Amino acid sequence: MYALYSDIGNEYLEEQEKKNLGNDVQMKSTLNLIALKPYDGGVEMRQTIKMDVKGMVPNFVSNYVMEHFSKVLVYVVDYYKDGKKPW
């Protein structure tokens, strides 16, 4: 199973909602792909992410956010295995 999403082609929504967005910076999620492949006794899970948090976000904040985005599948597995919540 594959799940793929992107914000490419959504520029019209930014324009349409410009008055509601105000000065908010819009993160760009160019690509997010999640692939699940069943095998004997389990599931192989892979994720690829390409995004730009944009704006004047300090690097340490950007790095923190990306670190947690990169572990989403680990969090899902931990939750289903033993109920462990990531935070």
Residue owning tokens 């597995």: 77
Domain presence at residue 49: yes
The predicted-structure confidence for 9-39, as pLDDT tens digits, reads as follows: 888 888 888 888 888 777 777 888 888 888 8
pLDDT at 48: 83
pTM above 0.85, yes or no: no
Domain presence at residue 30: yes
Domain presence at residue 59: yes
Provide the domain count of the chain: 1
Q: Is the pLDDT of residue 69 over 80?
A: no
pLDDT at 79: 87
The predicted-structure confidence for 39-56, as pLDDT tens digits, reads as follows: 888 888 888 888 777 776
Domain presence at residue 6: yes
Domain extent, residue 25, equals 2-82
Instruction: Residue count of the chain, please give it.
Output: 87
CA distances to 22, 34, 45, 62, 82 from 85, in Å: 34, 20, 19, 22, 9
Question: HEC states along 2-44?
Answer: EEEECCCCCHHHHHHCHHHHCCCCCCEEEEEEEEEEEECCEEE
Domain presence at residue 87: no
Domain presence at residue 51: yes
Domain presence at residue 22: yes
